[in-house]
A and B are shown apart, each in its own frame.
Chain A
Amino acid sequence: MLASISTRFLLIALLMLPITLVAAKDTASENEAPLRIAVASNFAPTLKQLLARYNPNQKHFLSPILIAASSGTLFLQIEHGATFDVFLSADSERPQLLSTSGLAMSGSLQTYAFGQLALWSAKGNIDSDLLVALSNNKQRLAIANPRIAPYGKAAKQVLESLQRWDDYKGRLIQGINIGQTFQQTRSQAVNLGIVSNSQLVLNNFKGVLIPSYLHQPIKQQLVILKHSKQIAQAERFVTLLMSKQAQQFITESGYASSNEINTNE
């Protein structure tokens, strides 16, 4: 009796199988699941807008799932087997490490954006001359932690280029990433911060742009991860991200243009 019930159940289930497959085919081509994109927190808002604009109604690929965190955290998760399809880092070091260790698909390493820094105060206007604004500030300065955050490393280089590092060394508030530095500056708990220009553009705030020649380029690179089961879809996503319009959009969102960087180098 029991056996016959389970057999019948199995039969029904087997008969249902084609129906579920057909139903699934309607929503996704070739049984694709949404891409899982690990993205450095600083680029996440820009990426969301970009996807809304250039992939409307899932035109090129399914709406991806974004996992936003610091590049270091995401890198660790990837090293320990997290199932992401694409990794958009805030630096070049980590994607390159993944390439050399064989966790990234060979040939997929590309620079998708150049970070741009800005000096900003949420308390009001600061002098439009970078050096004057930095010299006028007798209080603390928020920067991302130079040891762990690409934007922090660049901020340190800016202070060194302007010979302000020794002056500021003892009064730095260090955020774990540029996102925290922005939040610390925005809360007005600190007078002045070196933040990412894209954060200011996103929120319509006005800061002082920091010229790219004062620091090494913040090369934000990406890789497609080798164990991804969505390689075709991942490649379509990267193609879109590297397209002329998308690159233009990224520059308008507060990132430096590659032309500007190349003339400096």
Chain B
Amino acid sequence: MSNTHPDMLALITTLKMAGLTTVILMLIGTPLAWYLAKMQSRSKVFIEALVALPLVLPPTVLGFYLLLLFSPQYLPGQIWQQATGQQLAFSFSAIVIGSVLYSLPFVVQPLQKAFEQLGDDLLEAAAMLGASAFDRFFTVVMPMTKASFITAASLGFAHTVGEFGVVLMIGGNIPGETRVLSIALFDHVEAFDYAQAHLISISLVISSLVLLSLIYLLNRPAKNKRVKSKRFN
């Protein structure tokens, strides 16, 4: 690992960060989106606003508060240190936690929209046939909202790859741990190493374009998007 090219190492770190962040976001985001889609109370608006906050806040603001929270002065940082023996600030865990918060709306919003558009009738029918809540979710909801799941995961991943401000604040630029592509790019530009900077930039532009094109391709309104009803006879 030590003789890997620094930029390759940064790419690997970036993919690890974005991959793990996406997995965590799907696990947290799915129940949260479901809860928000089905929620009737007045506090829904407030929670929705909280989820959407990373869309409008400068990432540096998020990073600044997280750095404080992750430092041993504050409770979250202390608890983490006691539980793991490691310091949270300037660690791989820190940039993953930061990314989860930062990319949350990109996962929750498409899922919530999909769940809201789902009619109740199929779910009711499944319930009448004795399917449990979990069963209903995995056999009825998920197949019907598959495209939204793929969209949510891809957007969460892509957005995390492009992250800069949060990682800048809580990462500390440690090779192999918190030095991701966007940080490596910044270093190259500041050090006048434009050849390397161009290489990273153009790779990011192309790969992001490809990924986003795939997402939009997937979301094109299909010609016959009716759910095939199973016959029970």
Contact = CB atoms under 8 A, between A and B. Distances in A.
B72 A145 contact: no
A151 to B, nearest CB: 13
Nearest to A177: B190
Contacts, number: 55
B187 A148 contact: yes
A7 B78 CA distance: 74
Interface string A107-150: 00000000000000000000000000000000110100101100
A187 B88 CA distance: 13
A187 B68 contact: yes
A189 interface: yes
Contacts of A174: 172-174
Contact of B190 (A70, A140, A187, A188): A70
A110 B71 CA distance: 41
A187 B66 CA distance: 11
A148 B186 CA distance: 10
Interface residues of B, number: 19
Contact of B189 (A76, A140, A172, A189): A76
A140 B90 contact: yes
Interface of B: 67-68, 70-73, 77, 87, 89-90, 168, 172-174, 186-187, 189-191
24 contacts: A72-B190, A72-B191, A73-B190, A140-B87, A142-B172, A147-B190, A147-B191, A148-B187, A148-B191, A172-B174, A173-B90, A173-B172, A173-B174, A175-B172, A176-B168, A176-B173, A176-B190, A184-B90, A187-B71, A187-B73, A188-B71, A188-B73, A189-B71, A189-B89
Given A70-B190, A174-B173, A175-B172, 10 more contacts: A145-B187, A173-B172, A173-B173, A176-B168, A176-B186, A184-B67, A188-B73, A189-B67, A189-B87, A190-B172
Interface of A: 70, 72-73, 76, 139-140, 142, 145, 147-148, 172-176, 184, 187-190
